[in-house]
């Protein structure tokens, strides 16, 4: 009987062994095939011969371009170029000879241009065209322009280079070298991959030489930039590589390995069968087998209750975390008796229970997944679907739903922002009186809103451990606002009942808006309470202590350095609290096109709502549209999130309440409320409104041009580009947009129309398109200047003359308000037009305030803010002002330049900055006013000291933001301008001989 059993088992073993051998062999063969395809793919991933030749070609082209650019910089070449500008007739030939001696054998054209690009005449080839001027402008900015191909595919095709030259120690440009060479200089260096693929020379997306066969686009390939140029090398390998792609080859390899593993694991079963037959004994037959099955009901990998826990058993427990098909192998590796050779009699084999030698039931019933299932899992994992756990976003700032937005209480603003001695933003932004410097606990863990224990905050806000138990509350709309409760980790279970207090965590410590509570001790020992803002010195001290964030008329700072979501929310709370105290209920908000705008605006809205204000969001629009929305929808109250013309990393806030822009005292009150944590508590509503169509309809109904004007509009990639082109087209202008795509990085130039340097592209575009004029806007669309076809900039004081002539013709005797920086000709022009000229201190707020007081139909100031309240609203709106200017010009059939020539012409200097401390500047201005003699000049002291003579004027004032001394002069002609500059210089040096005047 025993022999029959043994022979039966032997037969089974032989049959099973055959199957296992077949599986292992098949798996090995499949794995080898997959490996071969994988290696073939890897070896071809660099594109083979085509890829190598393409990289070699790109390197040769880069070397050629850089070599030519280096030749243009050679000192002897630059020296001869200067001689060309000095009028030496043979110098240009010398430049050509020097370039040829340097290796540039084939020169089509070489020229030397003067520094004034706007003076260069354009024409047909070979004369410079707009493309040449564009390269010269780039050379002025960068030193050298990117080489590019002009007139591709024509008889005039050439590769152009432009290089500026000037003194080594100066930024000024003395001139430009411009060189044209044949395109063959680069095309002949492109290798031909033959049957291995193709190589194409590109400029942008246009092919210069070669062509990519449409039928071969699926082959391996790439694009390689050519250094120093606009060129690129596009290449491709013939789509004749391995029949399987990289992914399929890898899957084939894995399938083979898995198949071999299945076969190998079966060999362990074979080895255990003899031991199994011996354990049955002579009396055991197949019928007894079922009786043995229930004996091991314990789940696989778990020790039986009578079994002592061993390291192996613990390993089996952990195996539950592994994929199903790895569990047995992992257990086998963990067991003893596996050190080589097959299991001996009486020795625990890899698949047997340690100490018993009995085979594991899971070994007999191997749970190997179906191969298709395995491949599906691999597919999922390779796509990243099965391996990446869901990411829980616990950063409140990113939440789109503004009602759920929470500003984090764990941001250590004390390190990020220096708000000066009077500020401890850490204490401002955490209602917890304890100024724990870094409340790093998660923003949401502090749901407990109003526990009085806050007065007794233990200095260890270590509730970090507790935060994790509460990830669920975070999703709730407003559990996180309460940063104070951190000290009490235990109460965290109860937070959910109080999700309403979402407003401000700070509100709990002082439900009453009194500034006296605990918060006062934590800030600086001598905080300036709101009630103490009585004198200019108090205001100045408060603002100067804010590290430059709070300025006299706005808030401005670098995002992530001095501005973040916590500060934005606190600013919203302070503004909302002031508005509530003034009896206001609604406020409109908007932002410009900066990348930081959405997150900061969400935090601002959060703060405003938590103070009880109903918020109407207008979205990303120019500032004039926000002021329009404020007047139409919110009783004249609005907050604009913008940094105007400042670099991309900045952002800021401009505030209007009940139609009045906040001035220096309003800014000081915001700063004081944040410092003292004196906020109102409420729960305002939130709404969104699209104001663009409403604004456009109102403006289009008011203005239609009598004839089309060809106008170039430069929005500098600011937010005005989203509305101005369509709007001006709708009123009848033939519009040419320049940089009207909204891009918060301002890739072309800063959107600052008050800077002549930022108007170069506009000048060139006007001339190239033969436009009648150009208009430049700033980053948020509330300032502008006009440029004529001849490139002359019409500054705001002359624009005011043009507007005043038209408005005063129908409204004689009305006032025109202008700031102290404008020309004296403006006053005379307004008076001659039967108007009243009223001078105001410099700046937008001062002009706006005086305009409202006088109920004037027109006002403006030299930085470009224009107020045209005639037929419109009494806020500065550069878009409407530009439309009115176009209306005036279109109503006159004469050329724009002829119309402008009728306005008084004069010379003026830009603002001259003298960098001294505010105290020193104040003393100088005071002494200049009291001690200096200005003869028969009309002296005005509303903002510094201004002296007006009949043919000239001069101004010395203090810049509100920096405290620096600012000088500006104007005159009818150059001699008088030099005279007034000298007069002021002599008087200032007489008062302070060490004054660092820059002229």
SS (H, E, C) 198-238: EEEEEECCEEEECCCCHHHCCCCEEEEECCCECEEEEEEEC
User: Of 330-339, 786-795, 895-904, where does mean pLDDT reach its minimum?
Assistant: 330-339
**Would the pLDDT of 45 be above 60?**
no
CA distance 447 to 502: 9
pLDDT attached to residue 255 = 78
Going by their DSSP bridges, the two strands 638-641 and 586-591 should be labelled as parallel
Backbone angles phi, psi at 956, to 5 degrees: -130, 125
Contact 306, 59 (CB under 8 A): no
pLDDT at 729: 96
Longest Cα pair distance anywhere in the chain, in angstroms? 139
Classify residue 678 as exposed, middle or buried by CB count within 10 Å of its CB (0-12, 13-18, 19+). Answer: buried
Quote the pLDDT of residue 40. 62
Of 30-34, 531-535, 780-784, which range is least confident?
A: 531-535
CA nearest neighbour of 677 among 519, 911, 533: 519
User: Which positions ≥6 away from 3 have C-beta within 8 Å?
Assistant: none
| 489, pLDDT greater than 70 | no
pLDDT at 244: 57
Burial class (CB in 10 A: 0-12, 13-18, 19+), 16: middle
How confident is the model over 803-826, as a mean pLDDT? Answer: 96
Domains of the chain: 406-688 (3.40.120.10), 714-904 (3.40.120.10), 908-991 (3.30.310.50)
Q: Which residues of 342-351 are buried (b: 16+ CB within 10 A; e: fewer)?
A: ebeeeebbbb
Lowest-confidence segment of 162-176, 497-511, 814-828, 849-863 by average pLDDT: 497-511
- Per-chain mean pLDDT for the chain: 76
Is the pLDDT at 72 greater than 60? The verdict is: yes
Distance, in Å, from the CA atom of 885 to the CA atom of 818, rounded to the nearest integer, reads 17
Q: What is the pLDDT of residue 422?
A: 40
Residues 6+ apart with CB under 8 A from 939: 929, 945, 946, 947, 948
Q: How far apart are CA 746 and CA 646, in angstroms?
A: 10
Predicted confidence band of residue 118 (pLDDT cuts 50, 70, 90)? confident
Position 572 confidence tier, pLDDT thresholds 50, 70, 90: very high
pTM over 0.75? The answer is no
Q: Which residue has the higher pLDDT, 556 or 409?
A: 556
Q: Which pLDDT belongs to residue 211?
A: 66
HEC readout, 581-644: HCCCCEEEEEECCCCCHHHHHHHHHHHHHHCCCEEEEEEECCHHHHHHHHHHHCCCCEEEECCC
- In percent, the amount of the chain with pLDDT more than 70 equals 66
Pairwise pLDDT comparison (430 vs 227), residue with the higher score? 227
Give the strand order in the sheet containing 197-203.
Answer: 206-209, 197-203, 231-237, 221-225
Over residues 125-169, the pLDDT tens digits come to 888 998 999 899 999 989 999 999 998 888 788 999 999 998 665
Question: Could you give the residue numbers annotated as active site?
Answer: 644
CB contact set of 116 (below 8 Å; sequence gap of 6+): none
The answer to whether the beta carbons of residues 422 and 675 sit under 8 Å apart is: yes
Q: What is the pLDDT of residue 379?
A: 53
**Is residue 895's pLDDT more than 60?**
yes
Read off the pLDDT band of 711 (50, 70, 90).
very high
pLDDT-based confidence at residue 735 (cuts at 50, 70, 90): very high
Spell out the SS3 assignment of 425-479.
HHHHHCCCCCCCCCCCCCCCCCCCCCCCCCCCCCCCCCCCCCCCCCCCCCCCCCC
Half-sphere exposure of 623 (CA within 13 A, CB side): 28
* H-helix or E-strand spanning residue 111: strand 109-113
Report d(CA 355, CA 346) in Å as an integer.
9
456: pLDDT confidence band, cut at 50, 70 and 90?
Answer: very low
Q: Please give the radius of gyration of the chain, using alpha carbons only, rounded to the nearest integer.
A: 40
Instruction: For residue 322, name the pLDDT band (cuts at 50, 70, 90).
Output: very low
Helix and strand element counts for the chain (H, E): 29, 30
- Residue 900 has phi, psi (to 5 degrees) of -65, -30
Q: What is the pLDDT of residue 298?
A: 41
Spatial CB neighbours of 812, under 8 Å, sequence gap ≥ 6: 833, 834, 835
Asked if 868 contacts 702 with a C-beta cutoff of 8 angstroms, the reply is no
| pLDDT at residue 434 tops 80 | no
Residue 714 pLDDT level (bands cut at 50, 70, 90) = very high
Phi/psi at 137 (nearest 5 deg)?
A: -65, -40
Q: What is the mean pLDDT of residues 202-218?
A: 69
Most confident of 453-467, 516-530, 725-739: 725-739
Tokens read off for 993: 């001989």
Asked whether the predicted pLDDT for residue 312 surpasses 90, the reply is no
User: How much is the pLDDT for 543?
Assistant: 57
pLDDT reported for residue 215: 45
Q: What is the pLDDT of residue 472?
A: 43
CB distance 665 to 539 below 8 Å: yes
Q: What is the pLDDT of residue 260?
A: 73
Instruction: Determine whether 661 is exposed, middle or buried from the number of CB atoms within 10 Å of its CB (0-12, 13-18, 19+).
Output: buried
Q: Tell me the pLDDT band of 751, cut-offs 50, 70 and 90.
A: very high
pLDDT 10s digits, 549-558:
898 889 999 9
CA pseudo-torsion sign 97, 98, 104, 108: negative
- The predicted model gives 883-898 an average pLDDT of 95
Q: How far apart are CA 986 and CA 983, in angstroms?
A: 5
Residue 84 has pLDDT above 70, yes or no: yes
- For residue 153, give every residue at least 6 positions away whose Cβ sits within 8 Å of its Cβ, in sequence order, or none: none
Omega cis (within 30) before 126: yes
Give the whole-angstrom CA distance, residue 636 versus residue 652: 20
Per the model's pLDDT, the better-predicted residue between 783 and 264 turns out to be: 783
pLDDT reading at 669 higher than 90: yes
Confidence check: pLDDT of 944 > 90: yes
CB of 204 closer than 8 Å to CB of 229: no
Please tell me the predicted confidence (pLDDT) of residue 275: 45
Q: Using CA atoms, how far apart are residues 345 and 232, in angstroms rounded to an integer?
A: 73
Average pLDDT over residues 891-907: 92
pLDDT score for 647: 96
**Number of neighbouring beta carbons within 10 Å of residue 703:** 20
Q: Is the pLDDT of residue 697 over 80?
A: yes
Confidence at residue 982, expressed as pLDDT on a 0 to 100 scale: 95
Q: What is the pLDDT of residue 245?
A: 62
Residue 989 falls in which region: left (phi positive, over 0), alpha (psi -120 to 50) or beta: alpha
| Cβ contact 808:850 at 8 Å | no
State the pLDDT at residue 169: 54
Containing 381, the helix (H) or strand (E) segment is: helix 371-382
Of 430, 702, 637, 663, whose CA–CA distance to 543 is shortest?
663
Contacts of 164 (CB under 8 A, 6+ apart): 136, 139, 140, 143, 144, 173, 175, 176, 177
**Is the CB of residue 514 less than 8 Å from the CB of residue 679?**
no
Q: List helix spans (H) across 473-593.
A: 536-544, 565-581
What pLDDT score was predicted for residue 852?
94
* Cβ-based neighbours of 697, under 8 Å, separated by 6 or more: none
751 vs 712, 724, 740, 767, 831, CA distance in Å?
15, 14, 11, 20, 34
Contacts of 376 (CB under 8 A, 6+ apart): none
Q: What is the pLDDT of residues 906-915, one digit of tens each?
A: 999 999 999 9
Q: What would the mean pLDDT of 836-856 be, rounded to a whole number? A: 95
């Amino acid at each position: 009987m025993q022999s029959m059993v043994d022979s039966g088992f032997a037969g089974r073993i032989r049959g099973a062994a055959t199957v296992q051998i077949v599986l292992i062999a098949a798996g090995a063969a499949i794995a080898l095939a997959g490996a071969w395809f994988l290696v073939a793919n890897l070896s071809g991933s660099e594109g083979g011969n085509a890829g190598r030749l393409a990289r070699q070609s790109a390197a040769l082209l880069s070397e050629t371009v850089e070599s030519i650019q280096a030749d243009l910089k050679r000192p002897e070449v630059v020296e001869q170029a200067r001689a060309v500008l000095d009028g030496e007739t043979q110098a240009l030939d010398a430049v050509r000879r020097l370039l040829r001696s340097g290796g540039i054998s084939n020169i089509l054209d070489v020229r030397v241009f003067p520094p004034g690009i706007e003076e260069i005449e354009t024409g047909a080839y070979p004369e410079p065209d707009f493309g040449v001027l564009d390269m010269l402008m780039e050379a002025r900015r960068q030193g050298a322009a990117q080489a590019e191909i002009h007139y591709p595919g024509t008889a005039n095709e050439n590769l152009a280079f432009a290089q500026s030259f000037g003194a080594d120690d100066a930024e000024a440009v003395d001139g430009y070298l411009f060189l044209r060479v044949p395109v063959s200089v680069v095309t002949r260096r492109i290798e031909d991959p033959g049957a291995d693929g193709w190589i194409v020379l590109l400029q942008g997306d246009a092919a210069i030489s070669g062509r990519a066969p449409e039928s071969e686009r699926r082959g391996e390939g790439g694009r390689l930039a050519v250094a120093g140029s606009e060129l690129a090398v596009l290449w491709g390998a013939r789509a004749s590589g391995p029949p399987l792609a990289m992914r399929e080859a890898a899957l084939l390899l894995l399938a083979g390995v898995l198949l071999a593993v299945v076969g190998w694991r079966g060999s362990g079963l074979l080895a255990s069968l003899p031991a199994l037959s011996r354990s049955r004994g002579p009396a055991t037959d197949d019928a007894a087998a079922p009786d043995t099955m229930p004996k091991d009901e314990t789940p696989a990998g778990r020790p039986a209750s009578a079994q002592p826990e061993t390291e192996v058993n613990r390993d089996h427990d952990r195996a539950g975390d592994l994929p199903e098909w790895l569990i047995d192998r992992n257990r086998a590796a963990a067991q003893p008796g596996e050190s080589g050779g097959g299991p001996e009699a009486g020795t625990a084999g890899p698949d047997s229970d340690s100490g018993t030698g009995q085979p594991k039931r899971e070994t007999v019933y191997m749970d190997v997944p179906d191969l298709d299932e395995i491949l599906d899992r691999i597919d999922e994992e390779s796509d990243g679907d099965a391996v990446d756990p869901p990411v829980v976003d616990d950063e409140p700032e990113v939440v789109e739903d503004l009602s759920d937005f929470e500003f984090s209480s764990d941001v250590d603003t004390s390190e990020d922002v220096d708000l000066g001695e009077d500020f401890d933003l850490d204490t401002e932004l955490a209602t917890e009186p304890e100024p724990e410097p870094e409340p790093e606990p998660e923003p949401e863990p502090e749901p407990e809103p109003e526990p009085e224990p806050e007065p007794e905050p233990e200095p260890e806000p270590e509730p970090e451990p507790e935060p994790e138990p509460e990830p669920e509350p975070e999703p709730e709309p407003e559990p996180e606002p309460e940063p104070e409760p951190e000290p009490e980790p235990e109460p965290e279970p109860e937070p959910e009942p109080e999700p309403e207090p979402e407003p401000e965590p700070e509100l709990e410590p002082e439900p009453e808006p009194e500034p006296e509570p605990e918060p006062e001790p934590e800030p600086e020992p001598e905080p300036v309470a709101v009630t103490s803002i009585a004198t200019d010195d108090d205001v100045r001290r408060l603002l100067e202590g804010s590290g430059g964030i709070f300025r006299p008329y706005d808030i401005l700072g670098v995002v992530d350095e001095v501005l973040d979501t916590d500060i934005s929310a606190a600013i919203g709370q302070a503004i909302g609290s002031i508005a509530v105290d003034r009896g206001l209920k609604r406020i409109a908000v908007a932002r410009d096109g900066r990348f930081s705008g959405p997150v900061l605006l969400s935090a601002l809205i959060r703060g405003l709502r938590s103070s009880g204000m109903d918020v109407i969001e207008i979205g990303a629009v120019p500032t004039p549209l926000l002021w329009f929305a404020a007047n139409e929808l919110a009783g004249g109250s609005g907050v604009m999130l913008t940094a105007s013309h400042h670099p991309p990393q900045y952002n800021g806030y401009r505030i209007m309440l009940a139609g009045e822009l906040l001035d220096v005292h309003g800014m000081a009150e915001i700063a004081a409320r944040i410092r003292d944590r004196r906020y109102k508590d409420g729960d305002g509503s939130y709404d969104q409104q699209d104001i663009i169509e409403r604004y456009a309809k109102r403006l289009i109904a008011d203005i239609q041009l009598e004839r089309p004007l060809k106008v170039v509009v430069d929005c500098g990639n600011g937010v005005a580009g989203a509305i101005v082109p369509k709007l001006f087209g709708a009123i009848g202008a033939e519009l040419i947009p320049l940089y009207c795509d909204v891009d918060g990085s301002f890739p072309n130039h800063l959107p600052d129309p008050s800077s002549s340097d930022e108007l170069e592209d506009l000048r060139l575009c006007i001339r190239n398109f033969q436009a009648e004029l150009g208009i430049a806007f700033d980053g948020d669309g509330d300032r502008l200047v006009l440029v004529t076809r001849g490139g002359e900039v019409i500054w705001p004081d002359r624009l005011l003359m043009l507007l005043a002539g038209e408005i005063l013709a129908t409204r004689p005797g009305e006032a025109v308000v202008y700031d102290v920086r404008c020309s004296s000709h403006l006053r005379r022009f307004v008076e001659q037009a039967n108007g009243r000229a009223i001078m105001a201190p410099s700046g937008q707020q001062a002009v706006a305030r005086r305009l409202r007081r006088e109920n004037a139909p027109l006002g403006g100031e030299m930085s470009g803010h224009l107020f045209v309240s005639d037929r419109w609203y009494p806020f500065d709106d550069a878009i409407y002002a530009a439309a009115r200017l176009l209306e005036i010009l279109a109503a006159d059939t004469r050329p724009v330049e002829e119309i402008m020539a009728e306005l008084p012409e004069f010379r003026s200097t830009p603002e001259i900055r003298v960098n001294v401390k505010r105290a020193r500047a104040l003393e100088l201005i005071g002494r200049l006013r009291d001690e200096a003699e200005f003869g028969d000049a009309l002296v005005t002291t509303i903002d510094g000291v201004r002296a007006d003579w009949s043919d000239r004027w001069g101004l010395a004032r203090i810049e509100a933001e920096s405290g620096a001394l600012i000088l500006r002069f104007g005159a009818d002609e150059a001699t008088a301008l030099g005279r007034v500059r000298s007069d002021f210089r002599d008087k200032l040096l007489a008062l302070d001989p060490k004054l660092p005047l820059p002229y």
